[in-house]
Amino acid sequence: MNCEECHQNLSVFLDNELDSGLSAAVQTHLALCPECAKLCADFAMILETCGESPTDDILPPNSQALWCRINNLIETEIKTTPEPVKKGWFSRGWNFTFSQVGAAAVGIVLISVLLTIVGLRNYFEPTADDFTSRSTASQTTFEKVLSKVGLVETPQQARERRFREQQVAIDYWTKRVALRRAQWDGRMRDAFDRNLYVIDESVNEYNRLLQSNPEDELSGEMLDAVMTEKMNLLRAFSDL
Amino acid sequence: MIRNIKHRPGIIRVAKATISCVLAVTFIFSFGVRDTFGQRRFSRTYPAGKNVRLVLMNRSGMVTVTGWDRNEISISAYLELPAAQIAPQSLTDKIYINLVKDNQGRDVGSVNFEVRVPYEASVDIETTIGNLNVISVRGGLVRARINSDGDITLTNIGSATVAAENVTGNILFDGLIVDDGNYRFSSMQGRITLRIPFTASFRLVATAPSTRSIDLGTLGGGRMRLLSDGRRIVGQNGDGSAIISVTNQRGSIAFLKR
């Protein structure tokens, strides 16, 4: 008899329900095989214990609670079981070369220095012209960078956009004035024409200056003010 | 002689006709004078708190607002013919007069206002043509705007917020610069003169792009600097708590010591 056959018949053997032939064979094998003998001894002890103690004695006082604890332990172990590592970019990418790490460090330093400079500049920047209109000179470095890449409009673009908006409003009020003008007396007409001429002279002057030097922010600011003044003049006279 | 005239009925007829003509011409001319040069007067007084606000929008004519030591607003207006309609509205802490709206589309003559307000009143006046004067007012706001021709004169002003704007004409401000105040003066063509205490605390932006004529006098010492080829002067006087902004597109700017 080999060990496997012995294991198959061991339980029946211990219950004394095996026929005499097989029983003798098992006994012979147990005498020759210490491992099967030990297994048989363990089984025998379990059976003996079960036979001697009633079931109530070996159950815990609160078996339901015990099962809950066991379930909790099992669930905890399942959760803490490490998931298999995904083979992604990072798992492969951590193997940087020395030059790559160096370049990354230099990049981080450069960005930090740039942000510090921008921050300091913005912090110490308030000058007397901070309550006048924005210009390229007063633009922060960050804004300039954004302007360069087209994320925000430059002061020139903003000025041109505003100029177009003002021109639309001026066209509207000019039409209103044309409708009202016939009702004015001569003094009103003279005053309107005279002042409109003065304003238009300034508009032409600033347009000339900006054509020759688009970076002339003061002329841009003054043009904006003059256009607003023109709009106010037209609106005031259209109400008469 | 009488007998002679009686015997000459032609002379009598001529005399009668002459007298009739003279009377007729005098009659017609007298009405014409009234239409051309005549004025009507409007006068009204309103009780007011010290912090009342006067809002007056005129079409044409001079407006003079003067502070006084009474809790009432007195409005006197002299209307040239054809007379404009004046309908002041007395609202809560506000007297509102808008001749532009009340006479829209009508051909009306100039209206010259003389208004008295409490010293602490705020004044907001505007006209299309004509001079604006504000005297001895120290309320929270003094604003004067002329939409075309006219001079603005603000004298003995103690307000924290002052704005004076015209297109063509002079602007004179003679008053105090209050801490944290805001003072803005703007003209297209003319002369802007500010008479202020040089010990006041303010930041200044003065811009005269066409003429570059900005006369600071002894103001600012070395704390003023020229920008944009001398078209603008920027600087600070004292702690710089108030803000003064002066822009004269085609005229000059001058500062006088008060």
Q: What would the pLDDT profile of A120-176 be if each residue is shown by its tens digit?
A: 665 544 444 443 445 555 666 766 677 666 777 777 888 888 888 889 999 999 999
Closest Cα partner for B63 from B175, B152, B147, B191? Answer: B152
Q: What is the pLDDT of residues B114-147, one digit of tens each?
A: 999 999 999 999 999 999 999 999 999 999 999 9
Select the residue from A192, A200, A208, A222 to test the B interface by mutation, using most B Cβ atoms within 10 A. A222
d(CA B255, CA B60): 30
Is residue B47 helix, strand or coil?
strand
- Under 8 Å CB pairs connecting chains A and B tally to 92
Q: Quick check: A239 contacting B, CB < 8 Å?
A: yes
The residue of chain B nearest to residue A196, with distances taken between CA atoms, is B148
Return d(Cα A144, Cα B185) in angstroms, integer.
32
- Rounded to whole angstroms, the Cα distance separating B44 from B147 reads 27
Q: Could you report how far apart the first and last alpha carbons of chain A are, in Å?
A: 126
Which residues numbered 107-136 in A keep a CB inside 8 Å of some CB on B? 127-129, 131-132
The whole-angstrom distance between A91's CA and the closest CA on chain B is 58
* Residues in B touching A129 (Cβ below 8 Å): 205, 227, 234
Query: Does the beta-carbon distance from A237 to B128 stay under 8 Å?
Result: yes
Tell me if B204 and A128 make a contact (CB, 8 A cut-off): yes
Q: Is B33 helix (H, G, I), strand (E, B) or coil?
A: helix
Angle (CA) A34-A36-A39 rounded to 5° is 110
Structure tokens at B205: 């932006």
Q: Work out the minimum CA distance from A230 to partner chain B, whole angstroms.
A: 9
Does A12 lie at the interface with B, CB-CB under 8 angstroms?
no
Two structure tokens written together for A240:
């008469």
pLDDT at B37: 53
**Nearest Cβ partner of A239 from B104, B189, B235?**
B104
pLDDT tens track for B174-218: 999 999 999 999 999 999 999 999 999 999 999 999 999 999 988
**Higher pLDDT, residue A65 or B225:** B225
Contact between chains at B210 and A237 (C-beta distance less than 8 A): no
